[in-house]
Amino acid sequence: MRKSPHIIHNERTVTRIKGVFRNQPISCCVVQIAGGRVNGIDSYVHEGTMVEKGHIFGMIRIGSQVDVIVTWQETMNIKVRPGQKVRAGETIFVD
């Protein structure tokens, strides 16, 4: 944590997403952590809101961090690697 104090101190928003993956229930959390000089994480959905695949649910400014935490299932094929740059609305994480 000494090298990453922003994980504890900076503004954050956690969005929990429940859905279905290969006919099995799945849950994931998207943690948006604002950069040190960035003020603002915009959330576009409220608790209980149903969203479709590809729906934009929030925005975070440049210099920030997003962590995606997914309930693991053995049938998953992870498509990204640690440290890989991803693009909102473009990068496929799991198939």
* Catalytic-labelled residue, pool 4, 27, 43, 64: 64
Instruction: Identify residue 65 by its one-letter amino acid code.
Output: Q
* Structure-block tokens of residue 59: 């925005």
Q: How confident is the model at residue 2 (pLDDT cuts 50, 70, 90)?
A: low
Active site residue 64: yes
What is the average per-residue pLDDT within 58-77?
85
Domain boundaries, the chain: 1-95
pTM of the model: 0.77
What sign results for the dihedral spanned by CA atoms 35, 41, 47, 49? negative
According to DSSP, the β-strands at 65-70 and 24-33 are antiparallel
Round to whole Å and give the CA distance between 59 and 69: 18
Q: CA–CA separation, 17 vs 24, rounded Å?
A: 14
